[in-house]
Structures are given as structure tokens and as C-alpha cells.
Structure 1
Amino acid sequence: MRKPTGLERLYVDFDSFFASAEQHLQPHLRGKPVGVIPVDSEHTGLIAASREAKAKGIKRGTFVRDARRQCPDLVLVTARHELYVDLHKDIIRTIETVVPVKAVCSIDEMLCALLPAEWSRALDIGRRVKEAIAAGIGPTLTCSVGLGPNDLLAKIAAEMEKPDGLVALHPDDLPGRLLSLDLTDIPGIAQGNAARLARAGIADMEALWRLQPKELRRLWGSVEGERLWMGLHGYTVERPETQRRMFGHGRVLPSDWRSLNGAYAAARVLLAKAAARMRRAGFSARTLSLWLTDRNSAGWYGEERFRPTWDDPSLLASLSRLFLHAEREEMHRSRSVHVALHDLVPLGEIEDDLFDHTPEAQLKRRMEYLSTIADRLNGTHRKTLLHWGPWVTIPGGYAGAKIAFNRIPDAEDF
């Protein structure tokens, strides 16, 4: 464990990224309140709100009907994920004209490591990053930059003076400005964890700061509590490398898709996209899971286990059997559908019996070969040209290609 003495980390966090991206791409939207929605519907929530919209009380998650009532002049734009990913790549290239990007944390958050010779001029480097983005991308896409001795404190600093902020949390000044924050301002402390801390008499940052690392570990119920303590106190925190656990996709269905037939049609598309991602990453799966939910978030769950499998026909056949089980158990409607491929096995670890010439084995090899050919064709043309069975366009599009908090789609996903 090491305690840095300088500003070793620089964190870039863009302000209202999806909404600002639309204002950047569509100049007539600049200066107007803009809300970005996942699908053109009055029954969905905003996934982003511009600064102008936020000034009128509109937040991410606000339902469209409520947002229109709060702000009659709100401009709604349906998300265009492929353009945001292209813009993200331009941003990375621009930042790296000033300092290398160490890690991409999300579509609009990047972490950079500063060399010892750069620590004394870290604030100047932060300004140069902001200036490079304004000059290379445009003034509409602003970012907040945080500097700190470790990843966590740099991220916290980036959040402290949004929008368009530049803040440094120097290790010599801790706890300093941290004491003015709410507990839920700290990454990793959500409402549930804050409530748990409150029950233990920890209601503010000053009380949290006075805890010992083992105490926070006990309150947290895991080593993450101790890691949080170390990060807040300026220590470097080494985390074990995470391993891929699953490939999956889900979708809340529009009202006219909420029959079992509609859910099945959507699930086939979602599964095909998840399977293509899995193959590109070099895995096969031993389990397929299916969740169907009703309006009360209850519903039906089923899974099917098999030998390591990665070809589309086999996986789609498994999905069909799961839906038959759901139908037998009288699951007639579904508000949302989720599919997941898990119990993953790297393709290189699968031992294939080359002397198995049974019709079943030969058919499986052909299906694997054709699945690979389909991936190449669809990836080259960035559209689904070859698929197994009926293919539908799910309302909202972007099946398998939506930007998630910790996932940026590949070009092949679109």
C-alpha cells in the first residue's frame, strides 16, 4: 500500500454528455432545453437533460409527460448511440494530444495518469485538456476535470464544481473540502449504503472520516468498505482484475409488444446480439437465462444448461424451449424481457472431438462456421444482413448496441 504525495491522477467527466452531444451535432439546439429519450414515447424517462433543461428542474429519469409539463419548450431528441460512440473516440484522441488516457471509465469519463515531473503543473495540464477539447471538438461539449492522488479522489474532484469545473484535491489538504460533501456524493455510497451508515450513527463525512478502515469494512460487509476508506484517505487502491461473467441484453417493451409472442420476437434479437458479442470476445456459454417481468416487476425466470455452446441456431433453440416453459406456466404477458449467456468458457479451452463424425456433431460444426460467417458479414456492413429465422426491429432500435454505464458498444454492435 502506497500513499502518494502528489496529484498523480487526472479525471475527465463530461457535463450532460448525451444532451450536450446533440447540441454539438445540431447547432440549432444550442441554448435550448434539450432532453434525450431512449425511444419516441410519452411513457419513457429522459436519459439525459441539457444544462438549460436542468435549470428548469428537469433531471435524468424524469418522465416525458412530467418534463413537458415542467418545461413546455423542451426539445426531445431520440438517442443516437452510434454518433455518441464516434464522438467519444474523437474526444479520446483529443485528450491524448495533451496527456495519455490510462482508462476509459464510461462513455463520458476518462482517467489519466500523470508522471512525477507533471505533478507540480497538474492544474495547468487540466486547463490544457479543457482547452484542447474546446478547440478540437467544440465549445458546446464542456467537461469537468478533477485532480487527486488516486482514482477515487480525482473522480470526486471532477464532480465538485460541475459544470465546466477544475478542482484539485491535494493529499496534503485532506480531508479539507471532502467534509463539505454529502455521503451520497462519494462514488460507491448509494442511498442503501448511506442508510446503513446512518443506522450506525455515521450521518456525515466528518463521522465517516473518523472511522478506522476495519470499522468501515465491517459496516460495509465486505472488503469494499476498507478500499473506500483507503481511497478517501489518499492511498492507492489496487483492485483485482475483473473477469467477464456474462453477456446479456434486456428491453422494456412497448405496450403493443407485451404479449408472449412479442416478448419472444424481441428476445430472439437480443439473444442474437448477445451471442455475437460473446463470440467476438472469444467465449462460449454453458447457460442461457431468460427473465420475463410484469408491471409489478414480478414475473417468470428460467434457465437452460448445456455443453459449451456459441452458435446461434443452438442458442435460439434453447430460447424457444424456455418460452414454451413460460407458456405452460401461464406467463401470457411481459412488460420487459432480458436474456443472458453465462457460465462462460474461453473458446480456446473447449476440447472438440475431431473423430466425432456423428450427424449431430457435424451439424454443430457447420452451425458454428455459419455463425462466424454471419458475424463477419454483419460486422463489415454494420447491419444485420444474415440471421436465423424471423428478424424484427424492436422499437427504440439499438438492440445490443445501447451505451451502458460501464460499456461502450463496438462498431460491430450497431
Structure 2
Amino acid sequence: MRKPAGLERLYVDFDSFFASAEQHLQPHLRGRPMGVIPVDSEHTGLIAVSREAKALGIKRGAYVRNVRRQFPDFVFVNARHERYVELHRRIIDIIESIVPVKAVCSIDEAVCALLPSEQAEGLALGRRVKEAIATRIGHTLTCSVGLGPNDLLAKIAAEMNKPDGLVAIDPEDLPGPLLSLDLTDIPGIARGNAARLARAGITDMAALWRLQPKELRRLWGSVEGERLWMGLHGYTVERPETQRRMFGHGRVLPADWRHLNGAYAAARVLLVKASRRMRRAGFSTKALALWLTDKNSAGWYGEERFAPTWDDPSLLAALSRLFLHADREDMRRSRSVHVALHDLVPLQEIEEDLFGDTAEAQLKRRMEYLSAIADRLNTNHGQTLLHFGPWVDIPGGYAGAKIAFNRIPDAEDF
């Protein structure tokens, strides 16, 4: 475990990215309280709010109906994930023109590794990044830049003076800059973890700093506690490379689709999108899972397992069987639907069946071939032209690929 003596990391964190992106793309929204919503529904929550909205006390997660009731002129914009991804790629190119990007952490965050010769000029590099983005994209889209000896401390520094901040946490100053922070200001300490720490008498950063790494590991219940301690104390922490475990999509259903037929129609669209992503990544699947949830987050779960499969007709047939089970078990209404393909197998590891010349095996190979043809056609034309069975446009807004915290969709996902 190495303990850097200088500022080895530069962290770029954009301010209210989705909302600022919409204000950049739609100039008439600038200076106005506005927010971004996942779907056009009174029953959904805001996924991003502008600075002007934050000044009114409106926070991410606030329900549309409540905000509209209190602020009738508030502007709601449906999320346009494909536009945010385009903007993200432009931003990464700009950052790369100044300092190499070590890792893209999310749609609005990236960390850069500084060479020993660059570390003394870290703050100047941070200003250059901010100026380049303002010059080449515009002043609406601002970012906060943090510098530190490792990824965690650089990220904390970027959060310390938002919006439009520039902060460095020098390793020789630790723990000083951290002591004024709340526990929940530290990435990785959510309210649940903070409550667990409080039960152990750890209620502020000074108390957390005094812990030993094994103590924090025990309180956390996993090695993540020890990794957090190392990061806070200025050590470099290398995480093992994560393995792809599943491909999935979920969707809150519009009010008039909250019945079994509506959930089934939506699930078919979501499953095909997930299977396209899976094939493009070079995987097949041995399991399909389906969740139907009600307004209380309870509901129904089903799973079907099979030999490694990657063609749409076979997967859609498995989905149909799962919905028959849901119908028999009287799951008639659902607020949301989620599908997931898991227990993945790389396509190159699938062995040919020595006795696979049956009519069933031949049909499956044809379906695989047609699925690949459909993928190429739809990718080349940028829309769904060829599909198996009925295809619907889910009302209420966006139904394409969505940006997850640690996954940025490819252009082909939209």
C-alpha cells in the first residue's frame, strides 16, 4: 500500500449535470427554476434540479405533483439521455486535451492522473480544465475540480466548494480539511452507514479518523470499511476489476398501463433492449428474472433458467411464460416492471452440441442468425426497424437506454 506525498489525482465533477445540460441545450431555460424528470408523470420524482431550483429549496427526488402545487411556473423537462451522453463525450475530449483521463467514474465525473512534473501545477491545470470547458462548450455547464493524493480525497475536494469550485487537499494537511465535514459528505457513507457508525459512538469526522482500519472494517461488515480508511488517510487504493454480472432494464409504468397487459407490453420492449446490449458485449444468458412491483415496493418475482441463450425469440418466449405464472398467482396490478438477464456466459465459451442437428437446434440457430441481422439493421438505421412480435411506444416519455451511476450507454443503446 503506497502513500503518495503529492497531489496525484485531479477530479472533475459537474454541477447539476442533467439540469445544466438542458439549460445549455435550451437557452430559454437559463436562469429559470427547472428540473429533469425520468418520465412525464405527476407521480415521479425529479432526477436533477437547476441551481435556481435549489435556491428555492427544491431538491432532487421531490415529487412532480408537490413541486407543481407549490411552484406552478416550475419547468419540467423529460430526460434526454442520448443528448447527455453526446455532451459527456465532448467534455471528456476537452479534458483529455489538457490532462489524460485515468477513469470515467460516471456521466458527470472523471478522474485524471497527474505526472510528478504536473503535481506542483495541479491548481493551474484545474483552472485550465474549467476555462477550456467554458470556452469550448459554454458557461452554463460548470464543473468543480478537486485535487488530492488519491481518487477519494480528490473527489471529496471537488465536492467541498460546489458549484464551480477548485479545491486541493494536500496529504500533509490531513486530517484538517476533513474535520469540518459531516460523515455523509464522504462518498460511501450513506445514511444507513452513518446510523451504524452512530450506534458505535462515531458521530463526527474526528471520531472516524481515530479508528483503526480493522475497526472500520468490522463496523462496515466488509473490506470496504478498511478501503475507506485507507483512502481517507491518503493511501492509494486499487480495487479489483469488476465482472459483468447482468444486463437489465426497468421502468415505472404510466398510470393507465398499471395492469398485467401493460406491464407485459413494456417488459417485452425492455427485454429486447437488454438482450441487444448483452449480444453486443459478447454474452449469452442462462437466466431471465422478472420483477413486478406495486406502490409499496412489494409485488411479484419470477425467474426462468435455461441453456445458454442469446436470441430474442427464445428470451421473449421465456418472458411470456413468466407472465403466465404472474397471472396465475393473481399479480394483476404493477407500478413498475424490471427485467434482468443474468448468469452470463461469454459467447466464445459456448460449446457446440455434438447432437445438435435436430429440428429444434436448427430453428434456434436460425433465430440467433435473425437476431444478429436485426441488431445490425437497427444499429445502422439508429432505430428499431426489425423486431420479433408486437412493439409499442411506452407513453409517458423516455423508454430508451438510461444512464446509471456507473454505466454510460453506448450510442447503439438508444
TM-score band (shorter)?
Answer: over 0.9
2 CA distance for matches of 1:399 and 1:216? 41
1 CA distance for matches of 2:2 and 2:72? 53
Secondary structure in 1 matching 2:289: strand
2 CA distance for matches of 1:211 and 1:126? 33
Counterpart of 1:259? 259
Counterpart of 1:45? 45
Counterpart of 2:357? 357
What is the CA deviation profile of residues 208-238 of structure 1, one whole-angstrom value per residue up to 9, with x for unaligned ones? 0000000000000000000000000000001
Counterpart of 2:161? 161
Counterpart of 1:138? 138
2 CA distance for matches of 1:292 and 1:306? 21
Please give the root-mean-square deviation of Cα atoms over the aligned residues, in Å: 1.0
Is the contact between residue 106 and residue 407 of structure 1 (CA under 8 Å) also seen in structure 2?
yes
Matched, 1:199 2:199: yes
1 CA distance for matches of 2:354 and 2:393? 39
User: How far 1:405 moved relative to its partner?
Assistant: 1.1
User: How far 1:354 moved relative to its partner?
Assistant: 5.8
1 CA distance for matches of 2:306 and 2:116? 52
User: How far 1:255 moved relative to its partner?
Assistant: 1.2
User: How far 1:68 moved relative to its partner?
Assistant: 2.3
Alignment of 1:15-414 (within 5 A): 15-353=15-353, 356-414=356-414
Secondary structure in 1 matching 2:147: strand
User: How far 1:176 moved relative to its partner?
Assistant: 1.0
Is the contact between residue 38 and residue 398 of structure 2 (CA under 8 Å) also seen in structure 1?
no
2 CA distance for matches of 1:294 and 1:96? 45
Is the contact between residue 182 and residue 205 of structure 1 (CA under 8 Å) also seen in structure 2?
yes
Secondary structure in 2 matching 1:164: coil
User: How far 1:386 moved relative to its partner?
Assistant: 0.6
What is the CA deviation profile of residues 145-199 of structure 1, one whole-angstrom value per residue up to 9, with x for unaligned ones? 0000000000110000000000000100001110100000001000100000000
Secondary structure in 1 matching 2:120: helix
2 CA distance for matches of 1:230 and 1:237? 7
Compare 391-400 and 176-185 and name the one that shifted more: 391-400
Is the contact between residue 130 and residue 142 of structure 1 (CA under 8 Å) also seen in structure 2?
yes
Compare 207-216 and 81-90 and name the one that shifted more: 81-90
User: How far 1:105 moved relative to its partner?
Assistant: 0.7
Residue identity matched to 1:159? E
Residue identity matched to 1:285? T
User: How far 1:380 moved relative to its partner?
Assistant: 1.2
What is the CA deviation profile of residues 327-384 of structure 1, one whole-angstrom value per residue up to 9, with x for unaligned ones? 1111111111110000000001000126521101111111111111111111111111
Could you tell me which runs of 5 or more consecutive residues in structure 1 were left unpaired when the two chains were aligned. Answer: none
2 CA distance for matches of 1:70 and 1:58? 10
Is the contact between residue 183 and residue 194 of structure 1 (CA under 8 Å) also seen in structure 2?
yes
Is the contact between residue 41 and residue 396 of structure 2 (CA under 8 Å) also seen in structure 1?
no
2 CA distance for matches of 1:288 and 1:400? 20
What is the CA deviation profile of residues 375-409 of structure 1, one whole-angstrom value per residue up to 9, with x for unaligned ones? 11111111111100000111244434111111111
Residue identity matched to 2:81? H
Residue identity matched to 2:321? R
Aligned residues: 414
Normalised TM-score (structure 1): 0.98
1 CA distance for matches of 2:181 and 2:30? 32
Secondary structure in 2 matching 1:102: strand
Is the contact between residue 43 and residue 64 of structure 1 (CA under 8 Å) also seen in structure 2?
yes
User: How far 1:69 moved relative to its partner?
Assistant: 3.4
What is the CA deviation profile of residues 56-100 of structure 1, one whole-angstrom value per residue up to 9, with x for unaligned ones? 001111111222234333221111111111111111111111111
User: How far 1:26 moved relative to its partner?
Assistant: 1.0
Residue identity matched to 1:12? V
What is the CA deviation profile of residues 218-275 of structure 1, one whole-angstrom value per residue up to 9, with x for unaligned ones? 0000000000000000000011110000001111111110110000000000000000
